[in-house]
Structure 1
């Protein structure tokens, strides 16, 4: 059974891998204790790991303290693409990815374009 949309909160999406300060983690625990419906909603959602911390951060007093984590990820929207899923990188993304200055990249799929993976292995 699907949940109804969660109140007036705007959800944000991003990577599953994050580094959180102790003060922000404490704020999260306090918020979740005061708003159990937020956790209940995410329990039944598709990608809570790619939205919970990002959404909480943007709702918190820490929203202007975020730092880049050096991953190249293309979250741009496209026809038929879910908003909460990063694009699969292909050879067409190679130059932008290499010029980004980021140390890591996501998301690759051998069934979509193995050429990008082989090019990265050869060049790096």
Structure 2
């Protein structure tokens, strides 16, 4: 069995997902969650890649609670096989270094990678990140039924009154809140610590319902004060500043900056926007050891 599992969250573009699978499947065990609203053909992928584990459990809503539930589900599934490392990426990521280089680097550095800094974060809006969880947000309500519209309106009014009268939801007792990147590499000890904490604190996750972008908080808060060996470093190259998308959808003009970064992966890519940059990066990484 491989010592490294790569967990991938996918929601669109089957061609790009298959490109990612083909570049990773020979050296890693892959666990892939496909959004329930996606047009990706899960049955076709199961047939083509019998050694890859595919799931389709959640309708993932950007900034909502399912962005926590989905990676946690993949963590639990993969942890049953007790890997040395668990790498969480999205299907819009591309590896920048070869599979051998990924394995070698993890073996040499022998650590988890979790960007986790104590709140409040000066670069984050909404009270340095605290209001992501202390206000009620409409993120989890996306339907267009009369009931959904009413629910959104009620939650929105609650949030307005919270701000007006400085009322906040209570934070979970006994923890300090940390924030950082969703995308992580967890060594076995960090994975065990994470799942044990959640199992021993069943009410903890519920505090993130009706929150905003708490996928950048829940795991980071648990591991931010743990004794697990961790590097506070990003595993992915991202461009949050150039636009027109935030983060930027990377294009061929970004090629030099991408390949000169020290990261394991880069994101985000979309072959419907720029296919050339994806193939050029993969050709380069597959020609090096």
TM-score range relative to shorter protein: 0.5 to 0.7
Q: Quote how far apart the aligned CAs of 1:44 are.
A: 5.8
Q: Quote how far apart the aligned CAs of 1:40 are.
A: 1.5
The equivalent of 1:95 in structure 2 is 256
CA pair 61-75 structure 1, distance change in 2 beyond 3 A: farther
Structure with the largest fraction of strand? 2
Structure 2 residue runs of 5 or longer lacking an equivalent are 1-63, 66-131, 135-170
Q: Distance in 1 between matches of 2:233 and 2:133?
A: 30
CA pair 79-115 structure 1, distance change in 2 beyond 3 A: closer
CA pair 121-50 structure 1, distance change in 2 beyond 3 A: same
CA contact (8 A) 2:133 2:211 kept: no
Q: Which whole-Å deviations, capped at 9, do the CAs of 1:87-117 have from their partners, x for residues lacking one? A: 4322232111111244543321112222312
CA pair 39-80 structure 1, distance change in 2 beyond 3 A: farther
Q: Secondary structure at the match of 1:60?
A: coil
Q: Distance in 1 between matches of 2:201 and 2:239?
A: 28
Q: Distance in 2 between matches of 1:96 and 1:26?
A: 36
CA contact (8 A) 2:179 2:216 kept: no
CA contact (8 A) 1:90 1:116 kept: yes
CA contact (8 A) 1:90 1:113 kept: yes
Q: Distance in 1 between matches of 2:264 and 2:177?
A: 32
Q: Distance in 2 between matches of 1:111 and 1:74?
A: 19
CA pair 121-27 structure 1, distance change in 2 beyond 3 A: closer
Q: Distance in 2 between matches of 1:40 and 1:73?
A: 31
- TM-score where L is the length of structure 1: 0.57
The count of residues paired between Structure 1 and Structure 2 equals 116
The equivalent of 2:270 in structure 1 is 109
Q: Distance in 2 between matches of 1:18 and 1:73?
A: 14
Q: Distance in 2 between matches of 1:25 and 1:121?
A: 29
Q: Does 1:74 align with 2:225?
A: no
- TM-score where L is the length of structure 2: 0.30
Across the aligned residues of Structure 1 and Structure 2, the Cα RMSD in angstroms comes to 4.0
Structure 1 residue runs of 5 or longer lacking an equivalent are none
Q: Which whole-Å deviations, capped at 9, do the CAs of 1:49-91 have from their partners, x for residues lacking one? A: 66543342224333xx324889442163567866xxx543222
Q: Does 1:40 align with 2:203?
A: no
| Bigger radius of gyration among the two | 2
Q: Distance in 1 between matches of 2:181 and 2:274?
A: 24
The equivalent of 1:54 in structure 2 is 220
